[in-house]
Amino acid sequence: MRNVLHITKLLLSVAVMLSAACTSDLRNSDSDGAGSELRTAEGTGVAGDAHRQAERSAGEVARAMADTADFREERLELVRRHIAARGIEDPRVLESMRSVPRHQFVPEGYVEQAYENRPLPIGHGQTISQPYIVAYMTALVEPDSSDRVLEVGTGSGYQAAILAEIVEAVFTVEIIPELARTARDRLRQLGYGDVHVKQADGYFGWEEHAPFDAIVVTAAAEHIPPPLIDQLKDGGRMIIPVGSPFRTQTLMLVEKRADDLSTRSLVPVRFVPFTRDE
Amino acid sequence: MPHSDLLMNRLTTALALVSTGLIGFQLVLMQLLSVVQWYHFAYMVISVALLGFGAAGTVLSLARGWFLRRFHMVVPLAMIGCGAAMPLAAWLAASEHAVARFDSYLLFVDPGQFGSLILTYLLFFIPFFLGALAIGLILVRYSREAGTYYFANLLGSGVGALFALALMWVMKPVLLPPAVGLIAVAGGVLVIPRRYRRRLGTAGVTALLICVWFFLRPFELQQSQFKDLSKTLDLPDAEIVLERSSPYGLVQVVSAPALRHAPGLSLSYRGDIPVEKAVFNNGNWYGPVTAAADSVHLLDYSTSVLPYVVGRPRMVLDLHARTGSNVAQAVTHGAEAVTAVEPHESVLSLLRRELAPDTDSLLHHPAVTVRAEEPRTYLAATRDSFALITQPIVGAFGGTLGLFALREEYGLTVEAFGEMWRRLAADGMISVTSWMDYPYRNPMKLLATLVRMLRDAGVEAPENHLAAWRSWGTVTFVATRAPLGDEALTGIREAARELSFDPLLLPGLRPEERMRYNVLQDTNFFAYIDRIVAGDRGFIERYDFDIQPATDNDPYFSQFLKWKTVPRLFDEVGPESFPFLELGTLITAAAFVQIFFAAILLIILPLFRHGWARGGRVWTLLYFSGLGIGYLFLEMVLIQRFVLYLGHPIYAVAAVLAAILIFSGVGSSISQRLHVNPMSLATVAGAVALLIALYALFLMPVLRATISQPLLWKALLALMIVGAPAFLMGMPFPFGLRFLTQRRRSHVPWAWAINGCLSVVSSVLAALLAVQIGFVAVMLIAAGAYGVVAVISAAARGT
C-alpha cells in the first residue's frame, strides 16, 4: 500500500504540472459532477475565471490520481455506515465526504486507518477530526455554494477541503507554522486552489475577507475570540467542537441575529439519557 | 552462613546505599515521567518496573545455587549495574533520542504504541531488577541475619525518600537519575572483593563515568505533544522564560504573543483579551499570570462573577489560589482583605519575586495575605470569618479525559465544604465554578456535594440558599449563609441578561428563564439538577456515572466511572471514543491487570522447578502475600491521611514514607534479637491486625480532633501514630525468612519474590479500591491480611 502511495505522490506532482498547462474541458471528467460549478475566489474577469477553471480541473485530476479504487470503496463505505446512517442528510455534505481523499490528509503511518471513523494524530498535539464530526460540523453551518467560510485551525486541511467542495471560498488560518505550510502544500497539490491558507493567530480571524457566512473553529479555545464574532455576518453561524484530543464531547453552534448572539450545545453522539428508573 | 563483622558492616552499608538509590529512583522517576507524560503513565510504568523486585526473587529461586556460588561477584556487579542503568533507562525512554517513544494519548489509537510501552517497561525494569537481585541475594545467603539486613534495606529506603526530596529542590528532573544512580554504584564499589578488583573495578569506573556523563551533559526531556506545555510552545515565538525545580513539580513560565486566557468568556464581551504569560507545572497548565491593575477584570465576564453580583464581599478567602486570578478579581472588586491559600511554594515564590511586575505585585498588595499551606489545614486552623470563599474552576475545558480520577481532591469533599460553611460570616457565601461537560458529570457532582453539605449543616430548604447560572461553557454555583433575598435575585437576572448567561438555580426560577441564551440539546440536565436539589438520592445512585458526593473517606471527586455501566457506555460512545471518556481509571485498571498476571507468572515459575505440592508452599505463599498486601495497603492509607493532616503534601508524603520505613527498619532490627517460632509470628501479626483495625475505627476522629493544633504537636502525634504499626510491621518479614531458614531454606528466595510481587500488586490495587470503597475499607482489608498471617502462623505450630 505504501509503495502505491509513493508512486501516486510522484504521479500527482506531474499531473498538477500537466493539467495547469492544459485548460481543456477536463472538469466534466468527474462523472459524479460534485461541485461542478465554476467558483471565484479572488478577482474577476475571463482570464481569472479561466485560470481557476484550469486549476479546478487540475485539482480533480490530481485527486483522481491520488486516489485508488480501494480507498474510494473504503470512503464510500465510511460515508454510508458512519455518516449517512447517523443522520447526516445534506446531499452536498455527503457528496463532499465521498469526494475528498482523507488518506491524503493523514500522516503516512496512519494511512491504513484513514477511513476508520476516528480522529487521528497529525503532530503538534493536533488531530484530524473523526469523519462523522467533520460531516456534522459542515452540515451544521448549512453551507451554500455562494458562501465564504472562515476556518480557524487548518490542521491537516481536511475540513477546509470538505468545505471547498461545497462553498465559493474557504479562508483558513493556522497558527502553527509547520501545519500551515504542510496544509497549504497539500491543498495546492490536491487542486484546492480556492482554499486560502494563512499562517497567523486565529484569534484575529481574517479581517480583509470578512464578513463570513460561516466560521468553523476546529482548534477550540476556552474562549470565543471577540474578533471572530465581529467577522460573522448577520444571520451567520459559527461552529466549535468542545472536547479534548480524540474525543469531541459536544459541538457548540453560535448564531448571530441582529447582533444578538445565542449558543446551542449539540451532542454529536446520541446518548440516551444518563439515568434509568428501575 | 557465618561471616565476619567487617564483611557484614560493608554489606549492610552497601545494601542501605542501593536501597537509598532504588527508592530515590522510584520517586525521581515519578517526577520525570510526570513531566514527560502524565501521573497515571508514571504510576503504571513504575508499578510494572517494580516487578523487578519480584522477578529478582523468582530468578534467585530458580538458580539459587548458581547465584550463591557467585555471591561475591554478583552482588557488587548487580549494584553497579543498577546505578548505571538508572540514567541510561531515563535517557532511552524520555529523551529526544528515546528508543521507546511512548505516548499514553496514542495508546488507544496507534497499535505500535504497545511495542513502545513494553520497551519502556523493560528499560525501567532493569535497574529495579538488578538492585533487588543484589538485596535478595544478601537476604538469601544470610537469612539467619535477615532482621539486620532488612533493617538496612528499610533504613536506606527511608533515607532515600528524604534524599530524593531534597535533591528535587536543587536539581532539574533530568539530573536526578544520575544523582541517585551514583549512590547505588557507590554501594556496589564498596563490596568489590580483592580478588575481583580489576574486573569489577572497571565496571565500577564505567558506571561512574556514565552517571557523571549524564550529570554533566543532561539530555532534553521529550514531552508528549499532547501536554499543555508542548502545545503552548508550538505557538509562534513562544519561549520558556523562567524555570524552577521543586518536589511539587517542574515549574515553567511561558511567554507567547498568542497566549490569551479567558475561560468561558461571555459572548457579550467585546474588548481585547490581553496576552499573558502562563505557569505550567510538570507540563500541565497551572494558571495565567494575571495583571491585577486592570480596571475591568476578564473574570467579570465569566460566570464566576456571580458572588460579586449577589453581594459586595469585603473579606475574601481564595483556596488553592494558584497564580492568583481569583485574588486579582477580589482586589479589583474592592475587597478589604483577601487571603490566598496556595500550597505550591515555588509558584508563590515566582509570583512574589520574578513575576511581581507582571501581576502588578498582586501578592504584595496591602489587602492580600498569602498562606503557603494546604487549604484544608488552613480551614481547620483559622478562626476568621469570610464573606466569600472561592476555589479554582473544577474540571477542564473539553474535559479532563478522566486523567485526575485517582487524584485525591480534599477541597471538593462534603467535609471541606462543611468547613468552609462554618467559616462564613452571616452574609457569607461559597462560590465554585465548573466547566460544563457531556455526559453531565462535574456540575452534577459539585451540586450534589453542596446540597449534601447544606443538609448536613441543618439547612432545611437548600433551594433558598443556592444560586447558579451558566454560560456556553461554565456553570457557577453560590451557596449563601442567609437565604437569597429579592435584591440579589433581581441583580442576578439583570446581570444574566447583560452577560448572555442563563440562570440555572434561583428561588422562584421559571423554566423558560433557564435556556434563553445558551440552548442545550440534552435538556435532561435541568431535571437532573432539580432532582439533586430535591435530595433525590435514588437518582444519584442510578445515574450512569458516579456523582455521589465526594467525602474525606473517598476524596476522588473526578472519578466518575461506574464499572457496572462500562458495557453500556462502550456501546453508546463506540470503541474509538470510549477509552477517552475516563482514561485515567482505565490506564490504572490496565496497569493492575498487567501487573496481576505478571506477578502470578513470577510467583508460580519457581514451582515448575521445585514442585507444586512439596512442603508448605501454601503456607509460604499465604504468609508473604499477606504481608505484602497488608503493609502496602496501610502505607497507602497513612500517607493519604497525613497529607491532609500535616498540610504540606510533598513533605507529608516524604516524612510519612520515611517514618514508616525507618520505624519498620527498627522493628526489623529488634526482631533479630527475638526468638522465632510460630507463636511469635502469630503474636506480632495478630497485634498488627488489631492495631490496624483500631486505626480503621478511630484514626479519622483523632486526626479531625487535633488538626487545628500547632504543626509541632501534629508532627509528634503523626510520628507516634505512624511509628507504632510501622515498628511492628517491620518484624514479620525477617521473622518469616528466619522461620523458613529453620524449616524450608529453599523457600527463602521464593518468599522474596512473593513479597516483591504482592507489594506492587497491592499498591495499584489499593489505589483502585480506595476509589471504589474508601480508605476505611482499605484499612480493614489490611487488617484482614495480617489476620490471615496470624492465623496461619499459629497453625504452623503443628508442622
Cβ atoms within 10 Å, residue B372: 16
Category of B461 on φ-ψ map: left (φ > 0), alpha (ψ -120 to 50) or beta: beta
Whole-angstrom distance between the N-terminal and C-terminal Cα of chain B? 25
Q: Beta partners for B476? A: B433, B469
For B471, nearest residue in chain A (alpha carbons):
A263
For A244, nearest residue in chain B (alpha carbons):
B398
Q: What average pLDDT values come out for chain B (799 residues) when binned by 10 residues?
A: 71 96 90 82 75 91 93 96 96 88 80 85 93 94 91 93 89 94 97 92 96 94 90 93 90 93 88 89 90 72 96 96 93 94 93 93 94 90 95 78 70 96 97 93 96 96 96 96 95 96 95 94 94 94 92 87 82 74 75 87 86 76 94 88 76 82 93 88 95 94 87 88 94 92 87 89 85 90 96 79
Interface of A with B in 185-224 (CB under 8 A): 201, 203, 220-224
Instruction: Check residue B568 and give its pLDDT.
Output: 81
Q: Which chain B residues are closer than 8 Å to A132 by Cβ?
A: none
Q: Look at A182-191, A198-207, B712-721, B778-787 and tell me which has the smallest mean pLDDT.
A: B712-721
Cα separation, B771 vs B679, whole angstroms: 36
Average pLDDT over residues A154-177: 96
Interface of B with A in 400-439 (CB under 8 A): 400-401, 436-439
Select the residue of B105, B263, B545 nearest A223 (Cβ to Cβ). B263
Q: Which chain A residues are closer than 8 Å to B110 by Cβ?
A: 109-110, 121
Torsion sign across C-alpha atoms B419, B421, B427, B433: positive
Instruction: Check residue B418 and give its pLDDT.
Output: 97
Q: Which chain B residues are closer than 8 Å to A230 by Cβ?
A: 270
- CA quadruple B767, B771, B775, B781: dihedral, nearest 10: -70
Candidates B103, B110, B222, B234: best to mutate against A (most CBs of A within 10 A) is: B234
B65 touches A: beta carbon within 8 Å: no
Select the residue of B398, B500, B573 nearest A220 (Cβ to Cβ). B398
**What is the identity of the amino acid at A199?**
Q
Burial letters for B180-219: b for 16+ Cβ neighbours within 10 Å, e otherwise? bbbbbbbbbbbbbeeeeeeebeebbeebbebbeebbeebe
Instruction: Check residue A35 and give its pLDDT.
Output: 30
Interface of B with A in 437-456 (CB under 8 A): 437-440
Q: Which chain A residues are closer than 8 Å to B400 by Cβ?
A: 244
A249 touches B: beta carbon within 8 Å: yes
B285 touches A: beta carbon within 8 Å: no
Cα separation, A258 vs B486, whole angstroms: 32
Residues in chain A: 278
Locus of grid cell 447558579 = B468
Whole-angstrom distance between the N-terminal and C-terminal Cα of chain A? 52
Helix or strand run (H / E) with residue B539: helix B537-542
Candidates A115, A133, A173, A247: best to mutate against B (most CBs of B within 10 A) is: A247
Instruction: Check residue A39 and give its pLDDT.
Output: 35
Strand B337-341, strand B315-319: pairing: parallel
Q: Which chain A residues are closer than 8 Å to B524 by Cβ?
A: 273-275
Select the residue of B263, B269, B545 nearest A226 (Cβ to Cβ). B269
Instruction: Check residue A15 and give its pLDDT.
Output: 39
Vertex A147 angle, CA A144 and A153, to 5°: 110
Contact check, Cβ <8 Å, B225/A125: yes
Per-residue pLDDT reduced to its tens digit, A84-97: 998 899 999 999 99
Q: How confident is the model at residue A158 (pLDDT cuts 50, 70, 90)?
A: very high
For B580, nearest residue in chain A (alpha carbons):
A247
User: Would you please indicate which residues of A are annotated as catalytic (active-site) residues?
Assistant: 129
Q: Which chain A residues are closer than 8 Å to B265 by Cβ?
A: 223-224
For B521, nearest residue in chain A (alpha carbons):
A266
**What is the identity of the amino acid at B402?**
G
Interface of B with A in 483-542 (CB under 8 A): 500, 517-522, 524, 528, 539, 542
Q: How confident is the model at residue A49 (pLDDT cuts 50, 70, 90)?
A: low
Contact check, Cβ <8 Å, A222/B261: yes
Select the residue of A109, A175, A267 nearest B522 (Cβ to Cβ). A267
DSSP-based three-state secondary structure for B56: helix
Instruction: Check residue A42 and give its pLDDT.
Output: 37
Vertex B778 angle, CA B773 and B784, to 5°: 130
Instruction: Check residue A2 and give its pLDDT.
Output: 39
Interface of A with B in 111-170 (CB under 8 A): 116-121, 123-125, 130
Cα separation, B447 vs B423, whole angstroms: 20
Q: Which chain B residues are closer than 8 Å to A125 by Cβ?
A: 224-227, 230-231, 234
Select the residue of B112, B271, B401 nearest A244 (Cβ to Cβ). B401
User: How many CB pairs below 8 A link A and B?
Assistant: 162
Contact check, Cβ <8 Å, B519/A123: no
From B741, B733, B790, select the one nearest B157 (Cα to Cα).
B733
A225 touches B: beta carbon within 8 Å: yes
Contact check, Cβ <8 Å, A261/B106: no
Local structure of residue A255 (DSSP, 8 states): E
B101 touches A: beta carbon within 8 Å: no
Contact check, Cβ <8 Å, B580/A246: yes
Q: Which chain A residues are closer than 8 Å to B225 by Cβ?
A: 121, 123-125
Average pLDDT over residues A199-219: 94
For A273, nearest residue in chain B (alpha carbons):
B524
Distances in Å between the alpha carbon of B414 and those of A171, B418, B549, B607, B769?
A: 50, 6, 7, 50, 20
